Amino acid sequence: MSSQPNLRVLVRRQEIAAAVEKLAAEISQDYQGKYPLLLGVLKGSFIFMADLVRLLDFPLEVDFVRLSSYGQGKESSGKVKVLQGLRSRVRSREVLVIEDIVDTGLTVAFLLDYLRQKKPASLKLCALSDKPSRRQIPVTIDYLGFTVPDKFLVGYGLDWDEKFRNLPDISVLEEVS
Ligand code: IMP
Ligand code: MG
């Protein structure tokens, strides 16, 4: 980005926290007495995952998978590949994928297909945010935090070119010259 980035807060940390609490309550109800594998999609989900699991009061396992789709720009390349595969057993497990944002849907649709082939007992998706206006492939989000407009967002794990993941609020990244 040659111009100066300009950040405008879209979702404040308090609203994010409320959304995470609501998701944790729903997930707790559905997975009570089970022993799910929560599979975070790196890197974007790391903060969300950390906040979410601390609100879950039942036994669970955590693992991460690293996929690539974006490269360094703001647009999805449409090509997805697994950069770092999961180490945990998936077969016959209750698997809950944790995503930061579903945009075109290409990344998570690829991951869900990949996991489905490993025959989990159940496979569900939890996404903090959804940008439905950009969808290229249908994706069912079982647990959703909030819907966001078609803007490029940063903060709370979301990056632009690896920057801004550490910001506690979610902001719109606007370019000003
Ligand atoms: P999709 O394949 O287009 O659905 O993109 C999914 C991935 O792209 C997400 O897991 C994010 O890591 C990244 N992504 C999508 N939209 C944004 C955004 O607005 N800001 C930062 N990263 C995004
Ligand atoms: Mg991601």
Residue with tokens 């699991």: 53
Q: Categorize the per-residue pLDDT at 176 as very low, low, confident or very high, splitting at 50, 70 and 90.
A: low
Instruction: Give the burial string for 4-43 (b: 16+ CB within 10 Å, else e).
Output: eeebeebbeeeebeebbeebbeebeeebeeeebbbbbbee
- Among protein residues, the one with the nearest Cα to ligand 1's atom 15 is 103
pLDDT at 1 over 60: no
Pocket test for ligand 1, best of 1, 48, 66, 70 (most atoms within 8 A of CB): 70
SS (H, E, C) 15-52: HHHHHHHHHHHHHHHHHCCCCCEEEEEECCCHHHHHHH
**What's the pLDDT at 36?**
98
Cβ pair 82, 115 in contact under 8 A: no
Which whole number is the average pLDDT over 133-156?
Answer: 97
Kindly report, residue by residue over 42-54, the tens digit of the pLDDT. Answer: 999 999 999 999 9
pLDDT at 73 over 80: no
- Among protein residues, the one with the nearest Cα to ligand 1's atom 10 is 101
**What's the pLDDT at 74?**
58
| DSSP E strands, the chain | 4-11, 37-42, 61-68, 81-84, 94-102, 122-130, 143-147, 153-154, 170-176
Please give the Cα distance from 4 to 2 (Å, whole number): 7
CA of 35 to the centre of ligand 2 (A): 24
Q: Categorize the per-residue pLDDT at 3 as very low, low, confident or very high, splitting at 50, 70 and 90.
A: low
Please give the Cα distance from 86 to 53 (Å, whole number): 18
